Amino acid sequence: MPTAEVAIDLKEHPIMLTLQDSISGNGFHARITMSGRTLMRQEDGKWWMYGVRPAGIAASGGNIEDAFLRFRSKYKEILFDIAQESRTFEDFASQVDRFFNESDADNEDERLWESALASIRTGACQPPTPFANLPRRAPEAYPSFIKIERVDAEAKDVRLMPSENVSDSYAYSFPKAA
């Protein structure tokens, strides 16, 4: 089958993203860095970005960039809400960790993410047009994780250096280079 036809048939798109936030809480300040997974597809005439890790989040937009920006904004607002309801840094860290790692009950989006990646690898196809300009990353090289650090005056063993800064980004999942 020609490569272009494989690309056109792909309905689910496996996306990887990296975000970093600085969150004030009740008596603490935290830095949260995460490498996550989302699934993008078109539904009802819009692009939807559905969380895989973290799973419990969704956002839509007229194009993929708009969907990502809304997803990014909602992610930060969830961190704000968790901070609002956490009495201590430890409580905050526990709840953020749960939010990030709690999978969907049916695991449907995670299965579709893995299936989409397998389809890309089988077909050796290029990302379809809306994703053509996104960077490409191999999931094996960017495993999902979340790091929650206390960075206020009571912080211990935390690195406060410019090299710790992480830009927001999202990328199309792609096979690992041979």
Partner 1 sequence: MSASVPYADVLRMLEGCAKGHDIRRTTHGRRVEHGGKVYLDLPKYDDIEIGHIRKMIRHLGIEKDCARRFNCY
Name the site residues for partner 1 (rule: CB under 8 A). 43-46, 48, 50-51, 55-58, 60, 74, 77-78, 80-82, 84-85, 98-99, 102, 104-106, 108-109
Asked if residue 175 lies in contact with residue 16, where contact means CB atoms within 8 angstroms, the answer is no
| C-alpha span between 92 and 80 (Å, rounded) | 10
Is beta strand 46-53 parallel, antiparallel or unpaired with respect to 28-43? antiparallel
Nearest CB to partner 1, comparing residues 71 and 174: 71
Cβ 72 to partner 1 shortest distance, Å: 13
Nearest CB to partner 1, comparing residues 29 and 74: 74
Q: Which two tokens stand for residue 67?
A: 């969907």
Cβ 18 to partner 1 shortest distance, Å: 20
Nearest CB to partner 1, comparing residues 35 and 95: 95
Q: Which two tokens stand for residue 69?
A: 């920006």
Cβ 154 to partner 1 shortest distance, Å: 25
CB atoms inside a 10 Å sphere around CB 147: 12
